[in-house]
Structure 1
C-alpha cells in the first residue's frame, strides 16, 4: 500500500476526529504555555536568584525524565482515550490550584515548584500517548502528514501562548492567566469525551506492565543506532538548555523588560519555529541530518552569545526568531532519527526513552546553568554555554546519525515452534538452541555475522545469548538465547523485521548442511518440592 499522503500536508484536517482533537490540542498547549510564562515570571518576583528561576524549568522537565518510560508502557496497555482524559483532569487540577493560590496571595516558592512538578508529571504521562494515537485518527497514507501537523500545532501554540500569557499576566495578573489555562483543559476534555474511539480488542499475547517495561529497556540497551541518537540528543540539549533556563532573567535583568516583553520573546521563538518547520523540506534537500543538527548548534550558540551582550530589545526579538528555527530543526532531526530506527512494536517505549534523555539533559542543564549563573552571572553563563555548544557540535558531528533506511516491517518468516501439547504463556524461562554446520574456512566470517545477529536477538526479547561448539565436531556450532516466558518468545516471532531477516540470511549463507539449521525449544521444569 502506498504511504503517500492522499491530499497533501493538510489532508488529515479533512478527517473530523483528527481535526477536532488537533484543534483542541493546539488550544490546550496554548494554555500550557500561558501557565508556564506566568510561573516563570512569578518566580522572578519571589526570588531573583538564577538558581531558583532555573529550578522552575527543572521542576517541569524532571518528571518527564523520570516517568517517560513508564508512560510509554501505560500507553500500550491502557485505554488511551480514558488515560488522556484522566491526565487532562490532573493538569486542570494543577492550574486550578495555582489560580487559587495566586488570587489569595498565598503562592510561595515551594508551592510554585511543587505544582510545576505535578504539571510535569501530567506532561510526562500525556506525551507518548498523544504520539501513539495518531495512526488511530487518520488513514495510513496520512500518518506522516498528521505527525507534521502535530509539530506545527505545538509551534503555533508556542508562538501564541507565551505572548498571550505575558499580556494577560501584565494586564490582569497571574490568577486570570492560570484561569485561561483551566478553560483550555476543559475544551480538551470535552473533545476527548466526544471522540468515538473503538474499544480495545483482547490480545492473547498482550503484555503486562512490567514485561513491557523490561522489553522496552532490552531493546534500548541492544540498539546501537538508537544509542547514537540518544548521545547526540543528550549533548545538544545539555548545552542548549542554558538559554531556556536563563531566558526569564535575560528578559528582566539584561534587557529590562516586563512580563509582556518576556511573552513576546517566547512568542518570537515560537514564530521562528513555525518558519523553520516550513523551510525544513528545502533545508533537507541541501543538508543531511548531521548537517542540519550542526547548523542548529551553531545558530543556537550564536544567539546565546548575542544575548549575553544585552542587545536592544528589537535585536533580541530578531535573534530569538533564529533560535526558534534552530530549535525546531534540532527537535525534528533527532526525533526523526529516533523514529527511523524503531519498529512499531516498541516505538512508544523507544520514543519514551528518547524523551527521558531529552528531558534529563534539559533538567540537568537547567540546574547546572542556574549554578553557573550564580557564580559567573547571566551573561557569563550564556557565553560559557555558547562556547561549549559550538565545541560539542563540531565534535559530535563526527559521530554520524543513523540513516534509518532499514526495513523495520515485521517479516513473519519464523515458523511456529513445534510443541507436543499446549504451553501456558507464563511458563518460562525458555531456552532456544539453533544448530549450524559451518566449515572451517567460513568460521570467522560466520561468527562475525552471528555476533551482529546477537543484537537483533536481544532487541526482540532475549535476555541472554551465546554461541558454543561441539567438542567432538567443531564444525557443529550451536547458537543459544533465552527469553523470560513462552509468550515472550511468541511475541519475538512477531517482532522480527525484514532487516533482521536479511541479517539472518547472511548467517544462513555459511550453514553447509543439506537441511535448515535445527531449532529446539527447552522449557524450565518446575520440580515438585523445589525451592
Structure 2
C-alpha cells in the first residue's frame, strides 16, 4: 500500500469516526448533521411558518367577509375537525400505500389549493363560503400530511437519534408559532391578506421539492389484508402493546387539562390582562420561545430522569405555570409562566411522541401515529369545550386554576402507567 492509499484510508477512518460521534452525540441538534433529515427539517420549518401565516390571514379575511363570532371560529373548526375523524383511516392508508407518493400528492393538492385561494383573494372574488370550502380542503390535506410525515421520520435518522429528531420537529413548529403570526400581520398590513396564502403555497412547493428529491427504496404493502382488517390490526396493536396504550393515555391525561391554556389564552390576554392583539401575540411568542429553549435541556433531562419522570415533572411544571397565569397580572410573572408552559408542553409531548415512534414497528407506524394524533385532537377539542363552558359559568381564573389542579393529579396518575421500560 503506497503513501497516498494510506492517506486516503486515514481520511476515511477519521470521517467515519466523526460520523459515528455525530450520530451518537448528545447535542439536541445532532440529527441536522444528516443531510436528508436536514432537508426535511428546513422544509418542515417553512411549511409550519406558512401554515401559521395562513391561519392569521384566514381569520383576518373571515373577519372582513363575515365578522360574526361563529363564522370566525368556523375557520379553525373546519381546518382542525378532520383530524379527529380521519387520522386513523389515513394511517391505515399510510401503511398500505407508498408514503412518499401520498405525501407528494398531498403537497401538490395543498399547493394548488392555497395558490388558488391567494388568486381569488387578490382579485376580490373570494366569499365567506368559498373561504370555508378551501379551508376544509386544506384541513383534509393536513390530516393526510401530518401522520404520514411523522411516520416517515424514523426512516431519516438512526434509532439513537429519533428522540432528538422528534424534539427538533417540535422546535420547528414552535419557532414558526413564535414568528408566524407576527410575520403574517406585517405581510397583511403591507401587501394585503392574499400574500399570507401565497406564502403558504410557496412553503408547500418547497416541501414538494424535497419529497421529489427523496430516493426512497422502502415500499408499503397491504400484505393481502383488506382495509377493514388492516384497521382492526392497527387498533388491536395499539390496544395490546403496553407502551403504546400508556402513551395514548398519557396524551389524554396531559392534553385534556392542558388545553385550558390554548382555549382561553385569547381571553386571558384581552379580559384577564387587559392586553390587545399585540399582547396576545407576545403570549404566544413566549410559549414558542419556552418550547425552543426546552429542546436544549430535554436530552439531558431524559437521560437523568427517564421518560416517565420527565413526563410527570413536566406536567407539574405546566400546572404551576397555568395556575400562575390564572392568578396574576404582572407582566414579568406572566412572561415567566408562559415560558415555563411552553417548555413543559414541549417536553411532555415530545417524550410521548418519540416513545410512540420508537415503539411502533415500520409496518404499523402510520396507523399508530394516527391513533396518537386522534387522541391528541380529541383531547384538545373536548378540553377546549369543557374549559370554555366552565369559564363562561364561573371565570377564566377559576377554569384555569381548576385545570391546573386536575393536571397535578393526572401527573401523579401518569406514573402508574409507565411508558419507559415497558
Structure-2-length-normalised TM-score: 0.80
Contact 2:88 2:371 in 1 (8 A): yes
**Cα distance in structure 2, aligned partners of 1:108 and 1:253:** 31
Aligned equivalent of 1:150: 169
Aligned equivalent of 1:386: 401
**Cα distance in structure 2, aligned partners of 1:314 and 1:175:** 36
1:313 CA displacement: 5.3
Aligned equivalent of 2:418: 402
Q: 1:366 to 1:41 in 2, by over 3 A?
A: farther
Aligned equivalent of 1:276: 294
1:173 CA displacement: 4.0
Aligned equivalent of 2:23: 6
Superposed CA deviations along residues 363-407 of structure 1, whole A, max 9, x for unmatched, are 22233334444444xxx245313313422431451342324325x
Q: 1:311 to 1:141 in 2, by over 3 A?
A: closer
**Cα distance in structure 1, aligned partners of 2:327 and 2:189:** 26
1:62 matched to 2:81: yes
**Cα distance in structure 2, aligned partners of 1:115 and 1:371:** 30
Deviates more, 1:123-132 or 1:302-311: 302-311
Q: 1:44 to 1:24 in 2, by over 3 A?
A: same
**Cα distance in structure 1, aligned partners of 2:126 and 2:392:** 24
Contact 1:170 1:259 in 2 (8 A): no
Aligned equivalent of 2:385: 367
Aligned equivalent of 2:115: 96
Contact 1:62 1:360 in 2 (8 A): no
Contact 1:163 1:263 in 2 (8 A): yes
Q: 1:133 to 1:288 in 2, by over 3 A?
A: closer
1:149 CA displacement: 3.0
**Cα distance in structure 2, aligned partners of 1:108 and 1:250:** 31
Relative contact order higher in (CA < 8 Å, ≥ 6 apart)? 2
Q: Count the aligned residue pairs.
A: 399
Q: 1:256 to 1:189 in 2, by over 3 A?
A: farther
1:261 CA displacement: 4.4
**Cα distance in structure 2, aligned partners of 1:141 and 1:19:** 16
**Cα distance in structure 1, aligned partners of 2:121 and 2:391:** 28
Superposed CA deviations along residues 390-429 of structure 1, whole A, max 9, x for unmatched, are 22431451342324325xxxxxxxxxxxxxxxxxxxxxxx
Within the candidate set 26, 47, 51, 2:45 is matched to 26
Q: Secondary structure at the match of 1:133?
A: helix
Q: 1:12 to 1:237 in 2, by over 3 A?
A: closer
1:95 CA displacement: 3.0
Aligned equivalent of 1:349: 367
**Cα distance in structure 2, aligned partners of 1:246 and 1:107:** 30
Superposed CA deviations along residues 216-265 of structure 1, whole A, max 9, x for unmatched, are 02223333543333233223212222221233343445445555544333
**Cα distance in structure 2, aligned partners of 1:239 and 1:105:** 42
Q: 1:198 to 1:402 in 2, by over 3 A?
A: same
Q: Secondary structure at the match of 2:233?
A: helix
Structure richer in strand, relative to its length: 1
Aligned equivalent of 1:198: 217
Contact 1:166 1:263 in 2 (8 A): no
Q: 1:254 to 1:284 in 2, by over 3 A?
A: same
Contact 1:15 1:138 in 2 (8 A): yes
Aligned equivalent of 1:491: none
1:356 CA displacement: 0.6
Deviates more, 1:253-262 or 1:68-77: 253-262
Q: 1:334 to 1:197 in 2, by over 3 A?
A: closer
Superposed CA deviations along residues 70-109 of structure 1, whole A, max 9, x for unmatched, are 1212222222222112211232344335535654667666
Q: 1:297 to 1:15 in 2, by over 3 A?
A: closer
Aligned equivalent of 2:197: 178
1:324 CA displacement: 0.8
Q: Secondary structure at the match of 1:77?
A: coil
Structure-1-length-normalised TM-score: 0.65
Contact 1:163 1:264 in 2 (8 A): no
Deviates more, 1:157-166 or 1:311-320: 311-320
Superposed CA deviations along residues 443-488 of structure 1, whole A, max 9, x for unmatched, are xxxxxxxxxxxxxxxxxxxxxxxxxxxxxxxxxxxxxxxxxxxxxx
Aligned equivalent of 1:243: 261
Aligned equivalent of 1:486: none
Q: 1:303 to 1:169 in 2, by over 3 A?
A: farther
Higher alpha-carbon Rg? 1
Structure 1, unaligned runs of 5 or more: 407-531
Contact 2:314 2:345 in 1 (8 A): yes
Aligned pairs for 1:363-512 within 5 A: 363-376=381-394, 380-381=395-396, 383-395=398-410, 397-399=412-414, 400-406=416-422
- Across the aligned residues of Structure 1 and Structure 2, the Cα RMSD in angstroms comes to 3.4
**Cα distance in structure 2, aligned partners of 1:67 and 1:100:** 29
Contact 1:272 1:324 in 2 (8 A): yes
Q: Secondary structure at the match of 1:397?
A: helix
Aligned equivalent of 1:321: 339
**Cα distance in structure 1, aligned partners of 2:387 and 2:125:** 29
